[in-house]
Amino acid sequence: MKASVGDRLHVHAKLVGQPDRVGEIIEVRGPDGGPPYVVRFEDGHEGLCFPGPDAVIEPANAASKR
């Protein structure tokens, strides 16, 4: 998993009825774009994340390609 500042981290919910969590990566602390990441989630919470297999990186420039 590789990311850059400005990309979005999308963590899929583990339970039915639970919402996904989406946040902007504001800092990359791992080598070569790898985790951990500091993420600001949509609810304003910021935290250090080590994404698991239920997470995907959405590149920041993907929105501009639409």
pLDDT for the residue 61: 80
What CA–CA distance (Å, rounded) separates 40 from 9? Answer: 9
Residues 9-57: pLDDT tens digits? 999 998 999 999 999 999 999 999 999 999 999 999 999 999 999 999 9
pTM of the model: 0.84
- With bands split at pLDDT 50, 70 and 90, how would you rate the model's confidence at 62? low
Identify which of 23, 31, 29 has the alpha carbon closest to the alpha carbon of residue 57: 23
